[in-house]
Structure 1
Amino acid sequence: MEKYETPTNGLIQMVRDGLPEMTWMTFFAVLAFSCIATRIISGLQGRQQTRDPSEPRASRLAPYWFPWLGHSLSFTWNHASLFQGLRDSMDESVFGVYLRGETHDTVISPSMIKTILSSSKNSSLALDQALHNVFGNRNLIHSLQQSRNQEISDDVPGFISKESFLSEASAAITKMVQRNIPNLVSFSQSPVDQAPWERDSSKVSVVQEGESVCEADLFALVRNFVGHHMSNFLMGEAFLENFPMVVEDLWKLDTNFVSLFVGLPRYVPAPGVSAGHAACDRLHHIMSIFYRAFTAWDDGIDPGIELRELDDVSELVKERMRTFRKLEMTPGASAAGNLSLYWDVMEHITKITFWTTLHIFADSALLKEIRKEFAPYVNSSRPSREETGFPFDEPPRLSLDLDNVLESCTLLKACYHETVRLHSAGVSFRRLESDLTLTESDEDATEPCTYKLRKGEKVIMPHVAYQTDARRFSNPDQYDPLRFVVTDPASGRKQASADALGPFAEGLYGIKDNQLNERSILAFTAGIVSMWDITSADEKVLKIPNNKSTWGSFQPSKDIRVRMKSTV
């Protein structure tokens, strides 16, 4: 007997068949409606309100599309572009951005930024969040806060600015540059014979063995070379000898720093997030081992054959680890502190050295002027066979007088300042400990405005929004080091001044525009420019790549393939 389907059964089956499709359609419809409604509501909230001109303004909220997330996706993807776009669209010196359920006051006026940064009462959020989300241990903040009551100092910026430390750093870095800049590339085809900084990511290959010409990826080569030697200076040679992959892991952490900083867990299917977490875990473990070895060595106990020689660890790192010991910190908390400082120094020096070097070689007239300027203080040479009496060529030699470079090479220093302006994207974070009224200076605005910020509010200061503002720098996308060359009214001499940079971007441990960074970057840059000729591998003009958004200083959007040969 034929079985007939009842109308009720047919309706139920139809609903079952269509439920998945209806669910997805409904989900996307609700999502689209929520985003549109969020954009309308946030736009209304951020509209300019009629107010008494004599009363301080409250910050206007920048419109956003995504509920709760707000501007978080744009911040993670490219925080520099986010703040540059809002700077132009909001036309305010202070405005609000919404990040994961919280409104942050964003300040872009340099005079206001200086006011906030100069106050020691406002607590810094960047180090706290980085230690928790990136470096794996927030206990360091609690320990450092306790140290203030125990009269134990952990003043990293103060220690870096000491003349005794700077003299030690200048001598050590100068010695490394003079010894190893001639070996930036070894002209060896086999990776076994190449230096550590030439292998893998640098992709060094010999083009003409008879003429000693090679090709390399310039960013990877310069970053690895500078990173290798700055690691030796900061942590000692035994550190890198026993942990040869530490620099490579540091670069993985640096590339994914923003994703880690905002708290993306390792299972999020975003590029590099999982690799960034894994690299951070390995680095944290290495720093824990290093701390244990140092404490044993400092007590006169044999730390083991691997890390026995620790005399050449820099005084900055020694002093910091001894401070951690006084605070009775665990190896894990100490590892977070040492790793954060290590990254903070390394990322800026390595990347800004690359950008400064590239800009100089990309402009033949500028290259000629730079070499002429530092010729009395930076010299590359190779003794002839007649001079040495040997039947073979001696290796090239570099002579570097860093003190005179810092004192007399105005154009080179101006190149450094201009590179910082174009290729750094630091962001400062503060939580206000009291109500604050901010007023723009007459130099910052034709009609200075006053804003009222409340106690407990979080403040973001994106320095890139100031450094690329056409109202403050003519042709801000153009590389023009002469904008930092001024005339000293007292002596009438030309000198390089960073005053135009305004409130320079912070790192985790003080401002990036410190003497250690400047001396290191100028030493490496002068050595490379003096010793090497660098041209495009395709025999065309060297092109400056776009910035790729990373924390602190930008990476290039793509590496530059170059051809290199010695100048002597």
Structure 2
Amino acid sequence: MNNDTLLSPPTSSPSLLTALLNNTPSYLTAHPILLIVALLLLSLASTRYLSSRSTSPSRPSNGSPIPIPAVSYFVPLLGHLPNMAYDAAAFTRNLRDIYRGQGAYSLNFGGTVHNIIFAPALATSMLNQPNANAEAETVFKSLMGRVFGWPVVAESEGYDAFLAPLNALYVNFSSREPLGEMVGRTAERVKAMIGEFVTGNESQVDQTLWERFANAEVKRDAKGEEVVEVDLLELVRDWCARAANASIIGSDFMNNFPEFWKDLYEMDRGFLLLATGLPRWLPIPPLTRAHLARKRMLDSLEVFERAVDKHGDGKDAGAEWRGLDDVGPVVKGRLELYRKYGISMRARAATELALMWAANANSNSLVFWMLERVYADKALLALLRGEIAPYARPAQPSSDFGMPELPRLEVLDVEGICSSCPLLKSCYIECLRVDTASWSLKIVKEDFVLAPRDKEAQTWLLRKGQFAHVAHDLHNTDPNVFEHPDVWKPDRHVKYDEDGKAVGADFGSMRPYGGGGHMCKGRQFAYKECMMFVAAIIAMWDVDAVGGGEWKMPKHKKATGVYNTSSPTRVWVKRRQMP
């Protein structure tokens, strides 16, 4: 063989590569499943490559604003939606650890850009952006229609005109005097109702509504003592609702529509489905139940609104509405606005439904988690009982007839509980950290630069049409901020003086109520009611695991703010032996 032969191109049989290239199309045509798989893999690889090319640089750019780093994805059109559907918590937390240096990252949901912000400095800047840059009103308006039933199409202009004075009204009634009135009325109801947290009555006819909803059953423990077995979640949520809501919507409404709060929690279970705008006829049971529950609540609230309207004109609203004078200042104050802006009865009902949901869905569930955490730790329970003793004091009334009277809550000093019980407040804050997963959402209206206060820090460019989420739970579960973040530590937020004495508890860098102009208007009332509810219950009642066994903490289930649970929450409840 000479050199000419070696250098000359082949002229006989084709190479292996040429044969593969020539035969592959016919082979794949003969095997369509393999063709589909090949095209799918090619599509995924191409999407991953193209999306990774759009990823912003992770290194600083000498202070010049750059887009928030984009996370690459595989699935075209859907983007990161499959990741969120599979395990949103694990997915977002893993990305937090990857993009820790940036404090934010962006995801693609069906072709739209969603900026996820978790660094406190950036979160504060985002929450305080003026509406010209980013606003949440569009989101709220959508939720008012899709979730709460406001006739947005028919009354869009009325809603837009009504919103600003309504928010101003909320701010006014969150001030000291109206807030104090609502808290005081709630405290009086708690003192009156806490003795019947459970009654021990075997017949449902003789039980309270909250016991019936909790499927209360009278049992005997190992000592032969009577206990009441209940679903703690249902018991706590309904008891709290009936203790708190009379100061908001009045006692007549609560008496006339006793099933309302059962429907409220049914709607809450389908909240996220309602928010998508999915129609009722789709065969999704939680969605159907949520639609039906909302319909019943809106019908009830419309009856209430007509009665309040008559009462406001000095007319007789009917025999079942004789006590409308005790309707709370927030609801009363809205009547003038409803009339001024021509708000229909159905829209008024939707507004009250949104208020009732905001006042109950999260705070009442948070009381449940606080009680779960406290009763699971008997040493903590003892410490808290000692701390609250001067401010939530039970007493055993004397009796002249030989039969001992039931204990009652003699003292319930809400201000003392809130200002002088740092361990209890720390438990409240720790439950907000561990047992909630709230995000704040805004829509970017104009291109703007998101900048923290640190002048040397990197700034980020957000584009018109994008979405911005402040992911509070990503900060609250960050191991770089909170040691062992998955562990519930009751004294984590307690502050001490130089002598080691507990002097208070604070939120630190946490922002559980959002911030800026959209900070939760009812946060002070929610805080005070949670603190008084927990103090009253632990002062008067013992709660143990069914059978006296080991306490099993329920698993979290995603909800709108405070976690729900699908785990069993059956417990034994009995009266505490008075000290």
User: Which residue of 2 is the match for residue 450 of structure 1?
Assistant: 459
Distance in 1 (CA, whole Å) between partners of 2:146 and 2:111 is: 18
| 2:541 paired with 1:528 | no
Aligned residues: 538
Counterpart position of 1:57: 66
1:95, distance to aligned residue in structure 2 (A):
1.7
Question: In the TM superposition, what are the counterparts of 1:177-256 in structure 2 within 5 Å?
Answer: 177-200=190-213, 202-208=214-220, 211-256=225-270
Structure 1 Cα separation of the partners of residues 438 and 145 of structure 2: 19
Mark the CA change 1:32 to 1:448 in structure 2 (over 3 Å): closer, same or farther. Answer: same
Structure 1 residues 49 and 115 mapped into 2: Cα distance closer, same or farther (>3 Å)? Answer: closer
1:359 aligns with 2:359: no
Distance 1:341 1:76, change over 3 A: farther
Q: Is the 8 A contact 2:362 2:561 kept in 1?
A: yes
Q: Label 1:223 to 1:141 Cα distance change in 2 as closer, same or farther (>3 A).
A: farther
Q: Secondary structure at the match of 1:437?
A: strand
1:353 CA drift (Å): 0.6
Query: Which AA in structure 2 matches 1:291?
Result: E
SS at match of 1:551: coil
**Match of residue 13 from structure 2:** none
Secondary structure, counterpart of 2:324 in structure 1 = coil
Partner of residue 108 from structure 1, selected from 103, 118, 128: 118
Deviations 1:310-360 (A, max 9, x none): 111111122134322221111222222221121011112101111111111
Give the deviation of 1:442 after TM superposition.
6.0
Residue number among 97, 112, 127 corresponding to 2:140 in the alignment: 127
1:432 aligns with 2:444: yes
**Structure 2 CA distance for aligned equivalents of residues 250 and 546 of structure 1:** 22
Post-superposition offset of 1:546: 2.1
Matching residue of 1:304: 318
| Alpha-carbon separation, structure 2, partners of 1:491 and 1:155 | 43
Matched, 1:370 2:384: yes
In the other structure, the counterpart of 1:3 is none
Report the residue type matching 2:135 in the other structure: S
CA contact (8 A) 1:154 1:320 kept: no
Q: Provide closer, same or farther for how the CA distance between residues 36 and 254 of structure 1 changes in structure 2, counting only shifts above 3 A.
A: farther
Q: What is the TM-score of this pair, normalised by structure 2?
A: 0.85
Give the secondary structure class of the aligned counterpart of 2:362: helix
Matches within 5 A, 1:544-559: 544-559=553-568
Name the CA distance, whole Å, in 2 between partners of 1:508 and 1:291: 28
Verify the 8 A CA contact 2:391 2:412 in the aligned structure 1: yes
The unaligned stretches of length 5 or more in structure 1 are 1-21
Determine if the alignment matches structure 1 residue 166 to structure 2 residue 175: no
Listed one character per residue, the Cα deviations across residues 289-330 of structure 1 (whole Å, up to 9, x for unaligned) are: 222221111111222333343111111122134322221111
Please give the alpha-carbon distance, in whole angstroms, between the structure 2 residues aligned to 1:104 and 1:36. Answer: 22
Decide which moves more: 63-72 or 314-323: 63-72
* Distance change (3 Å), C-alpha of 1:28 and 1:400: farther
**1:390 aligns to 2:401 (yes or no):** yes
Counterpart selection for 1:261 from 264, 267, 275:
275
Match of 2:161 in 1: 146
TM-score, scaled relative to structure 1: 0.86
CA shift digits 1:235-275 (9 cap, x unpaired): 11211222222111110111121222233333444451221
**Change in CA separation of 1:396 and 1:503 when aligned onto 2, cut-off 3 Å:** closer
Partner of 2:77: 68
Alpha-carbon offset, residue 154 of structure 1: 3.2
Deviates more, 1:393-402 or 1:179-188: 393-402
Report the structure number with the largest CA radius of gyration: 2
Preserved contact between residue 35 and residue 65 of structure 1 (Cα < 8 Å): yes
Q: 1:492 to 1:359 in 2, by over 3 A?
A: closer
Shift of 1:472: 1.2
* Aligned-partner residue type, residue 566 of structure 1: R
- Code of the aligned partner of 1:470: P
| Shift, 1:373, TM fit | 0.7
Q: 2:478 is matched by which residue type in structure 1?
A: D
Tell me how far apart the structure 2 counterparts of residues 128 and 35 of structure 1 sit (CA, whole Å). Answer: 37
Question: What is the DSSP-based 3-state SS (H/G/I as helix, E as strand, rest coil) of the residue aligned with 2:293?
Answer: helix
State the Cα distance separating 1:410 from its structure 2 match. 1.0
Equivalent residue for 1:500, pick from 502, 505, 509: 509
Map of 1:16 onto structure 2: none
Identity %: 29
Question: Residue 127 and residue 42 in structure 1: after superposition, are their counterparts in 2 closer, same or farther (change >3 A)?
Answer: same
Distance in 2 between the 1:551 and 1:277 partners? 17
Query: In 2, distance between residues paired with 1:308 and 1:31?
Result: 68
Q: 1:417 aligns with which of 399, 411, 429?
A: 429
Distance 1:409 1:194 in 2: 33
- The secondary structure found in structure 2 opposite 1:285 is helix
Match among 469, 473, 476 for residue 467 of structure 1: 476
User: Is the partner of 1:556 in helix, strand or coil?
Assistant: coil
Distance 2:574 2:412 in 1: 20
